[in-house]
Amino acid sequence: MDDDVITSPYNTVLGISQLTELADCVLPVDNLALTGMIGRLKGSSTKPVPKEPSLRSNDTTKQQSSSNWPVTATPIDTAANGKAFDEMNNIVANMLLNLTSSSRFEGTMNVDINEISMNLVPFPRLHYLIAAQSPLTNTNQTVAPRKVDQLFADAFTRDFQLISADPCRHTYLAAALLVRGSVTASDIRRNIDSKLVLSDQVLLVL
């Protein structure tokens, strides 16, 4: 789903400077990632593209998306259901609700919302965070339960990220895993060790 507002690129470029100077934490979201999520929730088919070359290659002009990610998702007929943007907004709203749930519900392992920016932002201007959530839900569909290990694995795949970036192709300074529900500390520790500390897929500076 392409943005048909001609001034959107200008709004983004002009807005970034203000977000960089004034915001404590920014969670970017793009329409391409949201459209891909909705397409997968609806069971839409996507067209794969050739695998992306290494970022260490000298030729950076020919880089393409990895083979398991579509360049564009199957278009959604907004005239037919009128709910495409509602579903996209619902994904973003769920992310914000999950992010702030510790401020609204009691729990023994809750974290303060200020701890997120304090632990993830190394420098004041370097405060752009990549958000992901699993499982993806749709108000009109029932999502099958997923195992705890699968939820953690999903969080580090681009199919569940709200911005079109491959987490396995970049280096990260910090990561936070916020869990809701009945999850034991041992399950969390095991997945942190396997997905971050001992993983050779997601490169995290420790």
Q: Which residues participate in catalysis according to the annotation?
A: 115
**Region of residue 179 (phi > 0: left; psi between -120 and 50: alpha; otherwise: beta):** beta
Report the distance separating Cα 91 and Cα 160, nearest Å.
Answer: 10
Report the distance separating Cα 105 and Cα 109, nearest Å.
Answer: 11
Contact assessment for residue 53 and residue 62, using Cβ atoms and an 8 Å cutoff: yes
* CA dihedral sign, ordered 118, 122, 128, 132: negative
